[in-house]
Structure 1
Amino acid sequence: MSADPMPARTGLIKRGDLIAVLDRAVEKQVTIISAPAGSGKTSLLRMWAERQGQDRRVAFMSVRPGQQDAQMFWLTLFAAVRSDKDAAPPPTTSGFDGHAMVEKVLSEIRTSGEKPFVLIIDDLHELDFPEAAEQLTSLLIDLPPFAHIVIGTRHDLPLRLPQLRLAGELAEIRAPQLRFTKDEAREVLAAAGITLPDQVADMLHQRTEGWAAGLRLAALSLAGHPDPERFVADFSGSDRTVAEYLMTEMLERQPPGVQRLLLCTSLLDQVNGELADLLTDSTGSERILLDLEDANAFVLSLDPDRTWFRYHHLFSDLLRLELRRTLAGGIPDLHRLAARWFANHDQAADAIRHLQAADAWTEAARLLTDHALSLTLDGRAGTVAALLRAFPAQIGENSPELALVYAIADLNHLRLDGAQAHLDIARSYAATTPPDRQYQLRTALVALDLLVARLGGNLDGVFQQVGELPSPVVGQSNADIAFASDLRAVALLNLGVAEAWSLRLADSEEHLLEGAKLARDIGRPYIEVACRAHLGFASTVHSVALARQRCEEAITLAAEHGWDTEPVIAPAQATLAGILIWTGEFDHGQQWLERARNATDSEGEPGIRLLVHLISAILPAARGRHREALAEFVAAAQVQARMAGEHALTPQVTAWTISTQARLGMIDQARTTLAAVDDRRATTGVIRNAAAAVRLAERDPTGARCELQTVLDGSARVNLHLTLVEAHLLDALACRELGDERAARAAVEQALNLAEPDRLILPFAMTGAWELLEALPTQGTSHAALVADILDAARGGATSGTGRPAPMAEELSPSELRVLRYLPTNLTRPEIAGELTVSLNTVNTHIRRIYAKFGVTGRSSAVQRGRELRLLSTGRT
Structure 2
Amino acid sequence: MPLLPPDFVTRPRLLEALDAAAGSAVTTVCAPAGYGKTALLADWTSSRTAPVAWVSLDPDDNDPQRFWSAVLCALGPVVPATSRLHTLAVPEEGSRADFLAELVDALDVLPGPVRLVLDDLQEVVDEAPLRDTARLIRHRPTGLRLTLVSRSAPHLQLARLQVEGGLARVGADELRFTAEETAQLLHATGVHCGDDQVRQLVKRTDGWTAAVHWAAVSLRTVADVDTFLTQLDGDDRSVAGFLADEVLARLPEGAPELLRRISVCDAVPAALARELAAREDAGAVLAELERRTFLVARVDDESGSYRVQPLLRSYLRADLDLRYPGLASELHTRAARWFEHRGRVGEALEHAVNGLDRAGIVALLRTHAVPCLLAGEDSAVRATLAHLGDDVVRADPVLRAARTLADVQAGEPTPAPGGNTLLARHHALAAGRAPGRATLSPGTWADLDRAWTSLHRGARRAAATRAREAVAAARRDGQDYLVLHGLAAIAVAEGLAGGQEAARDAGREAVELATRHGWRRSPWLAVSRLVLAADHLLRLDPEAAAREAAEVAAPLGAFVGGAAQFDGGDRRGGVEAMREARHELGTIAAGPAALVAVLEHHAAVFLEEPLHANEVLLWARDHLARTRESDLMLAWTHLAAGRLDDAAAALRSRRAALLPTTPVDVELAEVALAVAGGRRTDALLTLERALALAAEGDLVRPFALADPAVRHLLVDHSGGFGRLDAFAASVRDRLRRFDPAPVDDRLTEREHVVLQRLPSQRSLDEIAADLTVSVNTVKTHVRAIYVKLGVTNRRDAVLVAREHGLA
TM-score of the aligned structures, taking structure 2 as reference length? 0.64
> What secondary structure sits across from 1:120 in the alignment?
strand
> What secondary structure sits across from 2:116 in the alignment?
strand
**Corresponding residue of 1:41:** 37
**Structure 1: how far apart are the matches of 2:718 and 2:195?**
63
Change beyond 3 A, Cα 1:394–1:604: farther
Residue from 346, 350, 374 that aligns with 1:349: 346
Change beyond 3 A, Cα 1:77–1:554: closer
- Residues 78 and 105 in structure 1, CA contact (< 8 A), matched pair in contact too: no
- Residues 301 and 310 in structure 1, CA contact (< 8 A), matched pair in contact too: yes
- Residues 234 and 240 in structure 2, CA contact (< 8 A), matched pair in contact too: yes
Structure 2 matches for 1:411-430, cutoff 5 A?
411=408, 415-416=412-413, 419-420=414-415, 423=417, 427=420
| 1:189 Cα deviation after fit | 4.3
Residue from 539, 558, 562 that aligns with 2:553: 562
Residue from 295, 307, 315 that aligns with 1:298: 295
**Amino acid of the structure 1 residue aligned with 2:513:** L
Structure exhibiting the larger radius of gyration computed from Cα positions: 1
- Residues 632 and 650 in structure 2, CA contact (< 8 A), matched pair in contact too: no
| 1:353 Cα deviation after fit | 0.9
Residue from 239, 244, 264 that aligns with 1:242: 239
Structure 2 matches for 1:648-727, cutoff 5 A?
none
- Residues 447 and 491 in structure 1, CA contact (< 8 A), matched pair in contact too: no
Change beyond 3 A, Cα 1:105–1:170: same
**Corresponding residue of 1:390:** 387
**Structure 2: how far apart are the matches of 1:604 and 1:521?**
29
**Structure 2: how far apart are the matches of 1:337 and 1:552?**
45
**Corresponding residue of 2:215:** 218
CA RMSD of aligned residues (A): 6.1
**Structure 2: how far apart are the matches of 1:265 and 1:194?**
35
**Corresponding residue of 1:106:** 104
> What secondary structure sits across from 1:171 in the alignment?
strand
Change beyond 3 A, Cα 1:370–1:548: farther
> What secondary structure sits across from 1:359 in the alignment?
coil
- Residues 529 and 549 in structure 2, CA contact (< 8 A), matched pair in contact too: no
**Amino acid of the structure 2 residue aligned with 1:287:** A
Q: Is the counterpart of residue 150 in structure 1 residue 147 in structure 2?
A: yes
Question: Which one is further off, 114-123 or 98-107?
Answer: 98-107
Change beyond 3 A, Cα 1:248–1:98: farther
Residue from 266, 273, 292 that aligns with 2:263: 266
What are the ranges of 5 or more consecutive residues in structure 1 without an aligned counterpart?
Answer: 474-483, 540-544, 578-587, 637-648, 661-732, 734-744, 763-773, 809-822, 828-859, 873-877
**Structure 1: how far apart are the matches of 2:185 and 2:555?**
36
Residue from 310, 322, 327 that aligns with 1:325: 322
| 1:340 Cα deviation after fit | 2.2
**Amino acid of the structure 2 residue aligned with 1:47:** D
**Structure 2: how far apart are the matches of 1:536 and 1:369?**
37
| 1:519 Cα deviation after fit | 1.4
Residue from 53, 67, 70 that aligns with 1:73: 67
What are the ranges of 5 or more consecutive residues in structure 2 without an aligned counterpart?
Answer: 455-462, 568-574, 597-623, 637-646, 668-681, 702-712, 743-756, 762-795
**Structure 2: how far apart are the matches of 1:285 and 1:291?**
10
- Residues 538 and 700 in structure 2, CA contact (< 8 A), matched pair in contact too: no
| 1:277 Cα deviation after fit | 1.8
Q: Is the counterpart of residue 786 in structure 1 residue 725 in structure 2?
A: yes
**Structure 2: how far apart are the matches of 1:227 and 1:514?**
50
Residue from 797, 804, 807 that aligns with 1:868: 804
> What secondary structure sits across from 2:324 in the alignment?
helix
Change beyond 3 A, Cα 1:783–1:618: farther
**Structure 1: how far apart are the matches of 2:237 and 2:271?**
33
> What secondary structure sits across from 2:656 in the alignment?
helix
> What secondary structure sits across from 1:96 in the alignment?
coil
| 1:530 Cα deviation after fit | 4.2
Change beyond 3 A, Cα 1:489–1:261: same
| 1:253 Cα deviation after fit | 2.2
**Structure 1: how far apart are the matches of 2:105 and 2:537?**
75
| 1:227 Cα deviation after fit | 5.5
Change beyond 3 A, Cα 1:753–1:55: closer
**Corresponding residue of 1:517:** 512
| 1:614 Cα deviation after fit | 11
Change beyond 3 A, Cα 1:428–1:326: farther
| 1:314 Cα deviation after fit | 0.5
Change beyond 3 A, Cα 1:551–1:386: farther
**Structure 2: how far apart are the matches of 1:442 and 1:331?**
45
Change beyond 3 A, Cα 1:335–1:60: same
Change beyond 3 A, Cα 1:405–1:566: farther
**Corresponding residue of 1:818:** none
| 1:28 Cα deviation after fit | 2.7
- Residues 509 and 535 in structure 1, CA contact (< 8 A), matched pair in contact too: yes
**Structure 2: how far apart are the matches of 1:753 and 1:330?**
69
Structure 2 matches for 1:591-670, cutoff 5 A?
601-602=588-589, 630-632=654-656
- Residues 297 and 309 in structure 2, CA contact (< 8 A), matched pair in contact too: yes
**Amino acid of the structure 1 residue aligned with 2:329:** P
- Residues 156 and 295 in structure 1, CA contact (< 8 A), matched pair in contact too: yes
**Amino acid of the structure 1 residue aligned with 2:260:** L
**C-alpha offsets along residues 363-405 of structure 1, whole Å, 9 cap, x if unaligned?**
4245446655665666665555444433357536676443344
**Corresponding residue of 1:96:** 94
- Residues 28 and 147 in structure 2, CA contact (< 8 A), matched pair in contact too: yes
Change beyond 3 A, Cα 1:343–1:863: farther
Change beyond 3 A, Cα 1:861–1:327: same
**C-alpha offsets along residues 529-548 of structure 1, whole Å, 9 cap, x if unaligned?**
545666799x9xxxxx9994
- Residues 532 and 554 in structure 1, CA contact (< 8 A), matched pair in contact too: no
**Structure 2: how far apart are the matches of 1:569 and 1:446?**
35
Identity %: 23
**C-alpha offsets along residues 761-815 of structure 1, whole Å, 9 cap, x if unaligned?**
99xxxxxxxxxxx9xx99997949939959x99xxxx99959746999xxxxxxx
**C-alpha offsets along residues 438-457 of structure 1, whole Å, 9 cap, x if unaligned?**
95998899975553142134
| 1:115 Cα deviation after fit | 4.7
- Residues 441 and 473 in structure 2, CA contact (< 8 A), matched pair in contact too: no
**Structure 1: how far apart are the matches of 2:307 and 2:738?**
40
TM-score of the aligned structures, taking structure 1 as reference length? 0.60
Change beyond 3 A, Cα 1:555–1:390: farther
| 1:551 Cα deviation after fit | 10
**Structure 1: how far apart are the matches of 2:468 and 2:559?**
21
**Corresponding residue of 2:750:** none
**Structure 2: how far apart are the matches of 1:240 and 1:256?**
24
**Corresponding residue of 1:856:** none
- Residues 296 and 307 in structure 2, CA contact (< 8 A), matched pair in contact too: yes
| 1:275 Cα deviation after fit | 2.0
- Residues 29 and 147 in structure 1, CA contact (< 8 A), matched pair in contact too: yes
| 1:244 Cα deviation after fit | 1.0
| 1:153 Cα deviation after fit | 0.8
Q: Is the counterpart of residue 169 in structure 1 residue 166 in structure 2?
A: yes
**C-alpha offsets along residues 394-426 of structure 1, whole Å, 9 cap, x if unaligned?**
53667644334443564577652xx116x35x9
- Residues 333 and 355 in structure 2, CA contact (< 8 A), matched pair in contact too: yes
| 1:256 Cα deviation after fit | 4.0
Change beyond 3 A, Cα 1:561–1:310: same
**Amino acid of the structure 1 residue aligned with 2:73:** A
**Amino acid of the structure 1 residue aligned with 2:104:** L
Residue from 123, 127, 148 that aligns with 1:126: 123
Residue from 15, 18, 32 that aligns with 2:28: 32
- Residues 91 and 99 in structure 2, CA contact (< 8 A), matched pair in contact too: no
> What secondary structure sits across from 1:263 in the alignment?
helix
Question: Which one is further off, 357-366 or 436-445?
Answer: 436-445
| 1:349 Cα deviation after fit | 1.7
**Structure 2: how far apart are the matches of 1:6 and 1:502?**
66
**Structure 2: how far apart are the matches of 1:73 and 1:252?**
25
**Corresponding residue of 2:754:** none
**Structure 1: how far apart are the matches of 2:558 and 2:164?**
52
Change beyond 3 A, Cα 1:863–1:249: same
Q: What is the aligned length?
A: 662
